């Protein structure tokens, strides 16, 4: 996603969207996954393509044909519902996690009710009594729409900075 620095967003809208993203991080950090789902549009496209190591400067290193995630609201809801069952062994005991969201840039989209939003994320988690801390970091490219005075995430593309993901599993939401 590229930005046009000539386009202006009001400070109020930028603050509202920033607070919206911070509320989302709070829900995820506190395992309020059903509340998190309410922040997503029914037609959400939620994806995390692979990052490849390629030679050259300025070349596209995002895979077009492979992804860690290619999800819809239905698949995300299925994953969330599973976390509330006893068969979610990957979250037993529950992980302690933090989503740090920064460098938020907001720009209007073609639709006057939509905004293109770039943010950086740093995700950290630990499990049980181990000293191992897993982390994942990168950039999120979102389309956020205002619907009936509420913001909803319509599209999210998560671009990890790592080409090799070192987390034990990919059960997290970013």
The pLDDT score that the predictor gives to residue 84 is 80
- Each residue's pLDDT, cut to its tens digit, for the chain (174 residues) gives 655 555 689 999 999 999 999 999 999 999 999 999 999 999 999 999 987 777 767 667 677 787 888 999 999 999 999 888 777 656 667 778 999 999 999 999 999 999 999 999 999 988 777 778 889 999 999 999 999 999 999 999 999 988 777 777 777 899
pLDDT of 72: 97
Give me the pLDDT at residue 31, please. Answer: 93
Residue 25 in contact with residue 101, Cβ under 8 Å? yes
* Residues paired with 29 in a beta bridge: none
> pLDDT at position 168, please?
72
Q: pLDDT value at position 2?
A: 59
Report which DSSP code applies to 116: E
Q: Write out the H or E segment, with its range, that includes residue 147.
A: strand 134-147
**C-beta of residue 104 within 8 angstroms of C-beta of residue 117:** yes
pLDDT of residue 3: 55
Is 3.10.450.50 the CATH number for 11-54+63-160?
A: yes
Q: Check residue 85 and give its pLDDT.
A: 79
* pLDDT (0 to 100) of residue 51: 79
| Two structure tokens written together for 119 | 């943010």
Closest CA to 95 of 23, 29, 24, 33: 29
Residue ranges per domain, the chain? 11-54+63-160
């Amino acid at each position: 996603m590229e930005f046009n620095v000539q386009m202006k967003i009001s400070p109020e809208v930028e603050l509202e969207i920033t607070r919206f993203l911070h509320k989302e991080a709070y829900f995820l950090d506190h395992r309020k996954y059903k509340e998190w789902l309410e922040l997503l549009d029914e037609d959400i496209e939620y994806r995390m393509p692979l990052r490849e190591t390629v030679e050259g400067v300025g070349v596209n290193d995002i895979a077009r044909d492979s992804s860690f995630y290619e999800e819809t609201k239905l698949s995300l809801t299925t994953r969330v519902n599973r976390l509330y069952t006893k068969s979610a062994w990957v979250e037993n005991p529950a992980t302690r996690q933090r989503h740090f969201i920064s460098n938020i840039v907001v720009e209007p989209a073609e639709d006057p009710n939509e905004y293109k939003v770039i943010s950086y994320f740093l995700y950290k988690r630990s499990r049980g009594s181990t000293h191992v801390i897993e982390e994942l970091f990168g950039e999120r490219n979102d389309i956020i729409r205002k619907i009936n005075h509420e913001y909803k995430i319509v599209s999210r593309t998560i671009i990890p900075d790592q080409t090799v993901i070192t987390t034990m599993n990919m059960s997290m939401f970013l």
